[in-house]
């Protein structure tokens, strides 16, 4: 195994941050979405297991729990918590298995080739689950297999919206219920 970050249990091994896109940086300008992650993974072949990654900034704008700018990155039995833009899978190939993610708007987004298997996806309010920006020369974008999408009664969300012209998002054998518009 290459480099890894492995916790004992996602319920008790928690990394949390409180940074959002509208905060001002040292230059007096807003820091923007891409500088808000609780964890940023830049190393190819990295593995994360049994952890919670949270950005508890709340409903104040984009606040990443995770940003991935690497290839062949694996997440197992992890939880990803935020309000907007929870998971930024920017580039590379990623695999998420038996994880939980929650958010409100575009909370799984960007241009990676990411597979989410047996993922629990919780919508916190009316919004959009995904915002794919799949590059034109990639065959696949965001792929969800055997997942479950759910929310509190009365909340409805769209599966996603394209962020770029060639956006690709696929749901296979995913339980959706009335939460999905």
What is the set of active-site residues?
Answer: 85, 106
Cβ neighbours of residue 27 closer than 8 Å, sequence gap 6 or more: none
Cβ neighbours of residue 134 closer than 8 Å, sequence gap 6 or more: 111, 113, 140, 141, 142, 164, 166, 167, 168
- Report the C-alpha gap between 146 and 154 in whole angstroms: 24
**Cβ-based neighbour number of residue 177 at 10 Å:** 9
**Cβ-based neighbour number of residue 20 at 10 Å:** 25
Q: Are 91 and 112 in contact (CB under 8 A)?
A: yes
């Amino acid at each position: 195994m290459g480099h890894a970050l492995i916790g004992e249990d996602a319920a008790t091994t928690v990394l949390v941050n409180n940074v959002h896109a509208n905060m001002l940086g040292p230059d007096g300008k807003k820091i923007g979405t891409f500088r808000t992650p609780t964890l940023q993974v830049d190393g190819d072949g990295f593995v994360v297991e049994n952890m919670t990654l949270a950005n508890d900034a709340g409903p104040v704008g984009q606040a990443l729990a995770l940003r991935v700018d690497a290839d062949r990155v694996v997440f197992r039995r992890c939880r990803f918590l935020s309000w907007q833009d929870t998971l930024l899978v920017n580039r590379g190939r990623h695999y998420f298995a038996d994880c939980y993610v929650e958010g409100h708007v575009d909370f799984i987004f960007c241009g990676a080739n990411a597979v989410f298997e047996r993922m629990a996806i919780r919508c916190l309010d009316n919004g959009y689950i995904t915002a794919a920006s799949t590059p034109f020369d990639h065959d696949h974008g965001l792929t969800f297999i055997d997942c479950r999408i759910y929310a509190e009664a009365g909340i409805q969300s769209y599966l996603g919206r394209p962020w770029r012209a060639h956006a690709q998002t696929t749901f296979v054998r995913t339980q959706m219920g009335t939460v999905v518009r």
